[in-house]
Amino acid sequence: MNFHKILLSILSILFILLNLNAHSRDYIIVQSTTSIANTGLLDLLSSKFEKQTGIKVRPIAVGTGNAISNAKRGDGDVLMVHSKKDELKFISDGFGVKRHKLMYNNFIIVGPKDDPAKISQETDIKNIMKKISHSNQKFISRDDNSGTHIKENALWKLANINLFDNRKYIKTGTSMANTLNVASEMNAYTLSDKGTWIAFKNKNNLKILFEGGEEMHNEYGIIAINPQKFPHVEYDKSKEFIEWLITGAGKDVINNFTYNGEKLFFTN
């Protein structure tokens, strides 16, 4: 019967394909938060880095929580997220080598232009969170364990508000841009990182109502995954990438990166 031959040839093709992957890789996998990827910065950094060093960068754009859990399974060489507490825990658990400050911008509160909850006069984030929770306006939450969602929870805690479990509090469970889409359609308030907001195209009736202050600082960290924990990682290439980003030419790429003339990320 020919079936055996066909089956054997398929298996051998698969085997050859697998063997091609078996030796040292010429690429690194970066587990990244969506805000760096969706704005287009990561694509730009990847192509520039590849041109200069020949090392390919394959970015996986997921939320911070998802990126960390993927990295903990060993699925990646570099972690690029924005939740300092979780990043430090990642390292103390032995998964990462060292946390480097990559860049920063800030979190913002966006909402309807006419601001029915009257938060734009406030200067203290605590009062803003209180006002939103006491008004009858909707608030859209990421609810996906991303860096922005972790920040949102911290802000509710700071304002001493128990997450109001009612119709005004809407959980999307998706990316920042998608959550902004929902906020835009429902004319509601939400917390966003500034990079995603600037690159977002469906703003409709939304605008920035609050930004600035220490509480709204949004810092991105970068960590090489520990080769002692996962021997398969390309540690030398990861280290080269990180150094290129924080001290080398990558830093200039970040500083010169604009979207419609607006600067999205700043380096230290």
Partner 1 sequence: MLTFEKIQSAIFITLYVSIFSTIISFIFSMFFGYILAIYKFKLKKSIVIFLSSMTSIPPVCAGLLVYLLISRSGPLGWMEILYSPLAMILAQIVITFPIMITLIIKNIETDYPIYKEELLSYGASKKDIIFLLISNKLNIYITVILVGFGRAISEYGAAAIVGGSIDHFTRNMTATIALETSKGNVSLGIILGAILISLTLIISIILNTLKND
Which parts of this chain interact with partner 1 (CB under 8 A)?
1, 3, 6-7, 10, 17-18, 21-22, 25, 29, 38, 40, 43, 46, 58-61, 70, 73-75, 174-175, 177-178, 180-181, 184, 199-203, 230, 232
Is 46 or 105 the residue whose CB approaches partner 1 more closely?
46
Is 167 or 201 the residue whose CB approaches partner 1 more closely?
201
Residue 76 CB, nearest approach to partner 1 (Å): 9
Residue 27 CB, nearest approach to partner 1 (Å): 9
Three-state SS for 256?
Answer: helix
Residue 81 CB, nearest approach to partner 1 (Å): 16
Is 18 or 160 the residue whose CB approaches partner 1 more closely?
18
Could you tell me which residues come within 8 angstroms of residue 267 by beta carbon, excluding any fewer than 6 positions away? 102, 103, 104, 246, 251, 254, 255
DSSP for 80-144, please give it: EES-HHHHHHHHHTTSEEEEEEEEEEEEEEEEETT-TT--TT---HHHHHHHHHHSS--EEE--S
How is residue 241 written in tokens?
A: 């990438």
Alpha-carbon distance of 267 to 172, in angstroms, equals: 31
Alpha-carbon distance of 13 to 255, in angstroms, equals: 46
Residue 113 CB, nearest approach to partner 1 (Å): 17
Residue 239 CB, nearest approach to partner 1 (Å): 19
Residue 202 CB, nearest approach to partner 1 (Å): 3
Q: Which of 165, 183, 164 is nearest to 175 (CA)?
A: 183
Is 11 or 158 the residue whose CB approaches partner 1 more closely?
11
Q: Which of 78, 44, 36 is nearest to 250 (CA)?
A: 44
* Helix H or strand E encompassing 211: strand 206-211
Is 7 or 158 the residue whose CB approaches partner 1 more closely?
7
Is 76 or 128 the residue whose CB approaches partner 1 more closely?
76
